[in-house]
Structure 1
């Protein structure tokens, strides 16, 4: 019974690490992207316009990383070729970041 608990703890720890890494990469990218606009925002934007992209994009990156965690576990059980699964995961992460960026920047830099 202890091996089941240990396996569950390892899986949830790995999931948390992947989600934090995915969200961290997304936060870093959106911060670099909006940094020049923070200094000279347009007057029609609210004072705290940058909070929306700084929250939405890391959430999208974290959710994409959680989906990647599930796909990598599924690949291990079903024996799919690793290169195909990694390609699908990378493509999915890029698409999730793109959609998160569009939603986060809608009405400000994306207008």
Structure 2
């Protein structure tokens, strides 16, 4: 019985995961930047550093959505329906982006 070397696929999978997470986080950062930096006169109750929370939480949610896309891409290469994988990835990404935006802006712009 011969042993298969599966370590050759690991760099490609890690590269796909990293790229997907960076793209997901970048899109989320652009979306939340539109809201955060569009505020002309923030409420004094929010504090001076109110922008930090949404600028951290939303890209993390986007990165998780990108990781889910990479996982579904991996599953589609193993036989899962490619169209269903992409659609499910988009739904999960946009729901995660929405939840990240709500969580990031909770207590400030989202009341």
Tell me how far apart the structure 2 counterparts of residues 34 and 75 of structure 1 sit (CA, whole Å).
36
Tell me how far apart the structure 1 counterparts of residues 77 and 13 of structure 2 sit (CA, whole Å).
13
* TM-score normalised to structure 2 length: 0.89
**C-alpha displacement of 1:10:** 1.4
**C-alpha displacement of 1:55:** 0.1
Moved runs in structure 1, 4+ residues, more than 4 A? none
The reply on whether 1:28 has 2:18 as its aligned counterpart is no
State the number of aligned residues: 108
State the partner residue of 2:48. 47
State the partner residue of 2:88. 88
Q: What residue ranges of structure 2 are gaps of 5+ in the alignment?
A: none
State the partner residue of 1:104. 104
State the partner residue of 1:72. 73
Q: What residue ranges of structure 1 are gaps of 5+ in the alignment?
A: none
The structure with the largest helix share of the pair is 1
* TM-score normalised to structure 1 length: 0.89
What is the root-mean-square deviation in Å for CA atoms of aligned residues?
A: 1.5
